[in-house]
Each structure stands twice: as structure tokens, then as C-alpha cells.
Amino acid sequence: MYLYASVQLSNLAVMAYDRYLAICRPLQYHSLMTSSRTGTLLVLVWFYPLLAVMVLVSLTSSLQRCGNIIHGVFCDNYSIVKLACSDTTFINVYGLAILCLLVVFPALLILYSYSSILRVCLCGSRQTRHKAVSTCTPHLASLLNFSFGCVFQIVQSRFDMSGVPGVLRVLLSDIIPLITRSLTKEIYIKSIISAFILSF
């Protein structure tokens, strides 16, 4: 799950960068977003999260655990760390470093991209604003859906959910992320279809 979330957020950051170049630097877009740069960004989107999660899993697997009951529907890393008898300081520090690298940095890139796009929209013509809104709406909707699902999962993992009935935990753990992922895919499909239709 951490790998999925990290790759998704990195991918959303790269998409925000792409939107930034397309709207804020349209004349330089093709020279800045070459196929080799696109390939490099694609490799980075997968490589760093994969490496970070592999290290996290190897660190967590070496912990001695005092229990084996996880109060959740699925087994995530933080649930295993909470079961540890040994010192988890290094894993916690590593987790904060990974949080900065895989969450804070992409989030800052997304915020910078959309603040620049907003500046262009406010200074541009009506046609520029319309084009920017139509270009950015699917991405922003995906970002909001993904963020909502992540925040929900983080809040649920940090609080004691043992008092919540099991059926409700299953619904909250599985249904909400499933709905947000389905909405994200539907938005992308609609944007691809509308872009295809507009190209003719």
C-alpha cells in the first residue's frame, strides 16, 4: 500500500509539472518535455518509492514483535511497528525522512505548479482561463480523491479502532479507497475521450 501511495503521489507531481509546462511555458513545452525526460521521470516515479519501501520493509521485518494481533483489515507497516518490543527510533526517523522525500517534496511541487498556473489564469484572457481549467480539472479531481483516501487511511491507522465494529472497519478501510480510485479512473477516461473528440 505504501508503494502504491508513493508512486501515485509521485505520478501526480509529475503530472502537475507537465500541466505547469503546458500552461505556463507553452512555447518551450516540447523542448523541455522530451521523450528522454519523460522516460527519466517515469523511472524516477517508480524507482525512489520502490527503493524506499524495500528499505522500510527490510527494517520492519527485522523487528522483534511482542504480539500478533493487528486491529485493522489489512497489515500495514505502522501496525507492525506498533507491535514491536524493541526500539523503533531508527525506523521512525527513517519514516520521517521518507515522508519528506516521497510526500512533502511532491506536494510542494504540486502546490508550486498550481500556484503558477493560477497566476497565469488570473492574468490571462478568458480563453486561457478556460483552457487551463479544462486541462487541470481531471488532475485536481484525481489529486483530491487520492488525498482524501490517504488522509482517511492515515487517520484510521493512527487512532485506536478496536472499539469500532468489524463490519464498519471493513467498509471504512476498503470501500472509501475503492470509491476514490474508481472516481479517479472515471475522470481520466472522460478527459481522454473529450481530448480525443476535440482533436478532430
Residue type (1 letter), 150 = C
H or E segment and range at residue 180: helix 176-198
* 84-102: pLDDT as tens digits: 888 888 888 888 788 778 8
Angle at 153 between CA 77 and CA 161, to 5 degrees: 85
pLDDT band at 16 (very low <50, low <70, confident <90, very high): confident
Tell me the CATH number for domain 2-195: 1.20.1070.10
DSSP 144: H
The one-letter amino acid at 77:
N
Picking from 78, 114, 75, the residue whose alpha carbon sits closest to that of residue 96 is 78
Q: What is the pLDDT of residues 108-159, one digit of tens each?
A: 888 898 888 888 877 777 777 777 777 777 777 777 777 776 766 666 666 6
